[in-house]
Structure 1
Amino acid sequence: MHLTQVAPYVSYPPRLGGDHRTHGLVKEFPQFGDTVERFCQGGSPAMYKSLDFRRQVTISKRYTEFRHLHPFHEILKAPMLVGYPNLFQGHVLKIASDGLDDMLERADVVLAREPWQTPYVLEQIDQDTPVILSSHNVEAERFGDIRQPLFENWVESRVEQMEKRSVEGSDAIVCTSERDAEIYRDRYDPGGPIFIAPNGTYKESLRDHRPDSKQAKRVRSDYDIPQKATVCLFMGSNYKPNIEAAKSIIELSRGFGGEQVQFIIMGSVGKALTSADTPENLTITGYVEDGFEAHFDASDIALNPMQSGGGTNIKLIDYFARSLPVISTPFGIRGLNIDREAVAVAELSKFPTAIEELRTARDRRKSIGRKGREVAAENYTWEESSRFLRKSIIEAVGPF
């Protein structure tokens, strides 16, 4: 099988949740002798910051990422910085898509991420070549939940139109959960089958929690966190639902005086937070690359205080993979089939009580963390989702 994947920006190496899904869903295909070519419409902040201007990256044998870097792509991404979708992405492809048409011509099947580029793909593709919509969220729901200061009604209407065209025009859809699939069926008229390939973690990330490691102790020392304190971790990218959640962590930290309970907010979400009035028991790290794994080990409890957003939370599975016990809102575990022994569920207002209960119950923390890792290993790995998607594509629109 020759699969062409269309993505809105550079995705490898994966840094954000969307990058991991883009890469994770296809990472196993080359193991079966398939060819994967990914067209990326523009760069990413991390790519430009690292001065990595390669136009072609070989990820593995028969798996290549092609990067079309063009000023138009970057200019029209500007609204995304303040929470708007890239509604003009498909339009730009009509004037700046060098190489994409050839990749579509070579494809046995096309996997197009989200509804922003999919309408263009549907217009350009040969009718005999199946197109699979790769959904990361129900976008109409996601942007319906996020209030925009300007053009709100127009944005919501346009998102609805583009998603409807993508869902109904594609030959199949792959989404994160049965919940999202049901919304698509209720809201639109899908043009083909819907595959459920959950968000996940990489098998190599599944491991024990290592709170006594030298690296974990160094993280605490670097942030002046007492070794005996209970550390609560939240991580996220610079994305409105994550910003909302991170702000709730800041307020939560104010309710814990002294040094006994400390909080860490890790990830690019820190860019959106004001550090001037940060409580003494809260550390905002920003994006972390060196020592990333050690931050999980330096923490005792992971927090998932999500109140809005679409899809399912990749961060939750990442916590599970490192055997960290998680406290989550009910919204934070939406769309996931998770045994309540693997996560402590509480409304946001009850997080202080949940933290107090867990921090003094070491055995229960270990039990929840162990169960969470088992859930991730059994049901939520990218390797399993990738193999499932490949099998589903072949059965639905193959053979190739």
Structure 2
Amino acid sequence: MKILFITHGEYLDDARIASGNSVRAYFIARGLAEHGIEVVHTYPEALGAPANPAPRPGIRVCVYQDREALAELIRAQAPDALILGYWELIETLPDWLDMPIVLDVVAPRILEAMYQEQLDLSDEVRRTLACYRRADRFLVGNQRQASFLIGWLILAGFDCRAAAPVDVLPISVETAPPVPVGIERQTPRVRLRLVSGGVSWPWRQTERWFERLALALQRHGTGREELALFSGGYLYAPAPAEPTGQPDAIPAPTALVKRFGLLPYGEMQRYLRDECHIGVELADENPERRHSQSFRAMEFLRNGLPLICNGYTELAEQIRAYDAGWVVDRIEDLDAVIEAIIARPDSIAVKSANALRLVEQRFQYAETIAPLLAFLRAPRKATSGPPLVALAPVQPLPDRDANPESTAPPSAMDDTPVAPPARQPAAESLIESLPPRNWPRPMRLLMAVSQRLGRWRRTNAVILVSRSDIRPANHGAAVKIDRTAWGLSYAVKCVYLLSEDRSIYHEVRNGVFRERQFPLWLRYLGPNQARVLETLITAGIPASDAFLYAPVGDWSFIVRTLYLALKSGARTYQAEFPAYGRATVWARDLLGGRALLVEHNVEYQRLAEQTPDLPDHGLQLLKTVELAWCNRSDAVITVSETDRQRLLNAGVDPERLHVVPHGVDLEQFARAEPLDLHTLYRIPRERAILVYHGIYLYPPNLEAMEVMAAEILPRLERLGVSATVLAIGAFPPERTLHPHLIFTGPVDSVAPYLKGADLAVVPLQQGGGTRMKILDYFAAELAVVSTPKGAEGIPIDPAIHVRIADDHEQFAQAIAELLAAPETRRDMGAAAREFVAPMDWRSIATRYLELV
């Protein structure tokens, strides 16, 4: 039997730097050859001439120049089947082929494409699926990749009901020649050498981990430890190199970090085997990393280097099972791992032996080849049906060519609301179809040109479109938007924050906000803003919230978003509140990229609850706007599972819905010192201080304090409890609600106030979303008493984190009991602080980026 193995990599040569494709092809070819199958390894001539046309028994090497030469090579060799080691090469195959094709997709290509800003993801998805349709069998590197691939194969038209045409064939190797292992490898200068590195791909972010690793070695070491890092661009990339990620950066300490370029394969093997002790495979978690299987990790293990790896990887399960290294779930755990290694160097030798045993039993190429051999013993063409993706393309543009003269009404997916009564402005005058299905051909051509233009100069910057009243951040929505922009700014090149203010926008880099001016010509583009609001109010939108819906009638949001996108290269657009989705989706459809919509609440339901006289046509308009832009966005983020379920029940596509909770500024609370509130507000020391914070223009917050004054404080007095409530926040009422309820007005930072209080109270009766104030109280280690509504949307344990009270009497009783039990309050505060520990805004921001 003969196999033609076509890949994008030279045959593995010890004297040359090797790509992952070369290593993969080498061990697959060896496994096949040792089972009596003749293998012809072929690759594009442009990659270099073969060093040895006949390197091993049963394997030959040749090159081809172009598509025609490849077709002639296939005719001449007449193989029984083809194996393609690189997905794009399937596009170069001739159409007349009738032999089975095995496609190796060991790298989750579609996940990688998400991080390559120069690519149009929707084009890449369609292209990848077209390639999949030509293949008959698929190889993946681990079980997660297999599970991920099945959905794409179904979209490509494969019938996977009985079985999917997928075989798991891990990246496989053989163990290196025996050498002294563990601590015996030390050189006179180095007591312990850790090693990592490789190509700096944009989906592999290692900087934080290497910095923490270097600091741990400095803190616990003897001065004879070293972290060796190899780095370089992709071997076959044109100049400039394809990877867009930055080289691994270690701000400090640098003395124990040694850098190398990429070494020839044989030299690298000798270096790992003879001079290194531990391999490192650590990076920030993202979808690509969760599905990956690392060539680098396998090279470490085959040379007897135990591995320090992330717990989210599939390989971590085997590292744990074989005790072949150390699994790190959080970056904070690295310090303890390094301390333990340096304290017990003998553990390295034990784990080194286990690493070799793991390779022999799970990753030995002669064994892992079995699934591929089983297919090749009876290779067959697959039968696939029509692709499903044509019915629901990943990022479609409306089909304007099928019937350009059609005047049919928009579908349910359009943002055109149902018309209100005739005396109201027609809803179509507020919200147009995007883009109109009956656009004339010149406009359609302009659309096509704009999409081409959108591929130019793409960066990972984010454009955030939002309300303007976020700085100072003195209410919940402002805090959420401000901190999201702040957190995102550490993970991307820049965050651009624009609002209804046509003069300025904010540029956020590494947490620093800078005000920038729009060009003079751009400031005067757009309809009269006062008239837009008047039209919205007339259409039935509550006057207090009409500003949140201004973008549906103010096209200047679109123009300013496009301006920033073309200026910065940003192709990720994030709308805060539903109506801002109009600008982000237009930008996405015109320039490409991804549009996210963040739902602080289910807005039409919130306004229906808070506006008893809301007219039916106003509610219908609010609902239609919200659901339309949800279904047009690529991803919709809710802050709680409750809100996600509400949108799901209302008709939002479930594939778009994701829950990302609110965060909290843990660093601010850690730095804050508690204020002496008794002295500051002249409160007698015998009186306990209860605290609540919010903005009191928001009716639910004012109502909560009215309940506190009228119902709960009187009950506390009857129970003999002396307490004063500090209500922190802007726009307090002019009237006094109770002698022992003090409105402080806005403050620069709530953290010192919360840390100076005895107890937090949340007597909310209504409202939507998630109560961020509770997360702040948790960060301040305060015990909390709340109504069920006040704690809605937070997955807490009432027995541990918060006391939940269903009525006023229970609320007062819970306050009295906790004030009488300081140890219980301390325990609740500690549990609450642990609950929010993983919810820092920077961590929350990375979850947004995972969606794009």
Same fold (TM over 0.5): yes
| 2:638 paired with 1:175 | yes
| Alignment partners' CA distance in 2, 1:87 and 1:294 | 32
Contact 1:197–1:386 (CA under 8 A) maintained in structure 2: no
Tell me if 1:307 matches 2:307. no
Match of 2:482 in 1: 23
Q: Provide the rounded CA distance (Å) in 2 between the counterparts of 1:304 and 1:93.
A: 37
Q: Give the C-alpha shift of residue 138 in structure 1.
A: 0.8
Shift of residue 314, structure 1, vs aligned partner: 0.5
CA contact (8 A) 2:631 2:656 kept: no
1:242-321 to 2 correspondence within 5 Å? 242-251=701-710, 252-257=712-717, 260-268=722-730, 270-271=732-733, 274-275=735-736, 278-289=737-748, 292-321=750-779
Matched, 1:59 2:517: no
Is contact 2:491–2:846 with CA below 8 Å preserved after alignment? no
Q: What's the counterpart of residue 834 of structure 2?
A: 374
* Residue 581 of structure 2, aligned match among 107, 118, 123: 118
Structure 1 window deviating more from structure 2 (113-122 vs 197-206): it is: 113-122
In the TM superposition, residue 77 of structure 1 has moved relative to its aligned partner by 6.7
Distance in 1 between residues matched to 2:770 and 2:560, nearest whole Å: 33
- Alpha-carbon deviation of 1:263? 1.3
Does 1:187 find its partner at 2:645? no
Asked if the contact 2:785–2:805 (Cα under 8 Å) also holds between the matched residues in 1, the reply is yes
Say which is worse superposed, 196-205 or 71-80, in terms of deviation: 71-80
Q: Structure 2, unaligned stretches of length 5 or more?
A: 1-459
**CA drift at 1:38:** 1.4
Q: Contact 2:462–2:492 at 8 Å: present in 1 too?
A: no
Q: Quick one: distance in 2 between partners of 1:313 and 1:82?
A: 24
CA distance in 1: counterparts of 2:492 and 2:672, whole angstroms: 36
Q: Secondary structure at the match of 2:499?
A: strand
Query: What does 1:124-203 correspond to in 2, within 5 Å?
Result: 125-127=588-590, 128-149=592-613, 151-190=614-653, 192-203=655-666
State the SS of the aligned residue for 2:705. Answer: helix
User: Which sits farther off after the overlay, 186-195 or 92-101?
Assistant: 92-101
The SS at the match of 1:9 is coil
- Listed as ranges, the matches of 1:346-365 within 5 Å are 346-349=805-808, 350-365=810-825
Q: Once the 2 structures are TM-superposed, how far is the Cα of residue 179 of structure 1 from its aligned partner?
A: 1.6
One-letter code aligned to 1:263: V
Give the deviation of 1:373 after TM superposition: 0.9
User: Alpha-carbon deviation of 1:173?
Assistant: 0.8
Q: CA deviation at 1:206?
A: 3.9
Q: Are 1:103 and 2:564 an aligned pair?
A: yes
Using the size of structure 2 for normalisation, the TM-score is 0.41
Amino acid at match of 2:831: K
Residue by residue, what CA displacement relative to the aligned partner does 1:234-287 show, whole Å, maximum 9, x if unpaired?
Answer: 11112111122121111122334488211111112523x622xx3222212122
Question: Could you tell me how far 1:73 is from its partner in structure 2?
Answer: 4.7
Q: Secondary structure at the match of 2:589?
A: coil
Cα-to-partner distance string for 1:56-114 (whole Å, 9 max, x where unaligned): 44433597665778895578679799643436411442257663331244431211111
Cα distance in 2 between the residues matched to 1:297 and 1:63? 27
Deviates more, 1:234-243 or 1:6-15: 6-15
Query: Which aligned segments of 4 or more residues in structure 1 are displaced greater than 4 angstroms?
Result: 61-82, 95-98
Q: 1:25 to 1:297 in 2, by over 3 A?
A: closer
Mapped contact 2:668–2:751 kept (Cα < 8 A): no
CA contact (8 A) 2:532 2:550 kept: yes
Which one-letter code corresponds to 2:508 in the other structure? I
Deviation of 1:26 (Å): 3.7
Structure with bigger gyration radius: 2
Moved more, 13-22 or 300-309: 13-22
**Unpaired segments ≥5 residues, structure 1:** 44-53, 394-400
1:17-42 Cα distance to aligned partner (Å, 9 max, x none): 11222133343333334332111223
| Higher RCO (C-alpha under 8 Å, 6+ residues apart) | 1
Deviations 1:363-395 (A, max 9, x none): 1111111111111113x32122111111232xx
Q: Secondary structure at the match of 2:545?
A: coil
Comparing 9-18 and 92-101, the one that deviates more: 92-101
Change (3 A) 1:11 1:98: farther
- TM-score of the superposed pair, with normalisation by structure 1: 0.83
Q: Is the 8 A contact 1:200 1:381 kept in 2?
A: yes
Inter-partner Cα distance in structure 1 for 2:837 and 2:709: 32
Q: Decide whether the 8 Å contact of 1:83 with 1:239 is kept in 2.
A: no
1 CA distance for matches of 2:827 and 2:515?
Answer: 41
Q: 1:163 to 1:334 in 2, by over 3 A?
A: same
CA distance in structure 2 between the partners assigned to 1:346 and 1:24 by the alignment: 31
Q: Which moved more, 1:56-65 or 1:327-336?
A: 56-65
Tell me how far apart the structure 1 counterparts of residues 760 and 708 of structure 2 sit (CA, whole Å).
11
Question: 1:223, CA displacement in angstroms?
Answer: 1.9
Q: Which moved more, 1:161-170 or 1:18-27?
A: 18-27
Using the alignment, how far apart are the partners of 2:667 and 2:787 within structure 1? 27
How far 1:205 moved relative to its partner?
Answer: 3.1
Counterparts of 2:621 and 2:669 in 1: how far apart (Å)?
40
Cα distance in 1 for partners of 2:830, 2:530 equals 43
Closer, same or farther: CA 67–192 of 1 in aligned 2, 3 Å: farther
**Displacement after TM superposition at 1:193 (Å):** 2.6
Secondary structure of 1:84's match?
A: helix
Distance 1:74 1:66 in 2: 24
Secondary structure of the residue that 1:234 maps to in structure 2?
A: strand
Q: Match for residue 169 of structure 2?
A: none
Change beyond 3 A, Cα 1:82–1:233: farther
Q: Aligned-pair distance for 1:13?
A: 4.6
Partner Cα separation in structure 2 for residue 376 and residue 39 of structure 1: 29
Contact in 2 for aligned 1:231/1:261 (Cα 8 Å) = yes
Report how far residue 355 of structure 1 moved: 1.0
Task: Give the Cα separation in 1 of the matches to 2:703 and 2:516.
Answer: 34
- Which residue in the other structure is 1:48 paired with? none
Once residues 483 and 725 of structure 2 are traced to their aligned partners in structure 1, the CA distance between those partners, rounded to angstroms, is: 30
* Residue 52 (structure 2) aligns with: none
Residue 292 to residue 63, structure 1, CA distance change in 2 (3 Å) = closer
CA RMSD of aligned residues (A): 3.0
Shift of 1:312: 0.2
- Per-residue deviation at 1:329? 1.0
The residue aligned with 1:338 is 796
Write the letter of the residue equivalent to 1:261. Answer: A
- Name the amino acid aligned to 2:708: I
Q: Describe the SS at the equivalent of 2:611.
A: coil
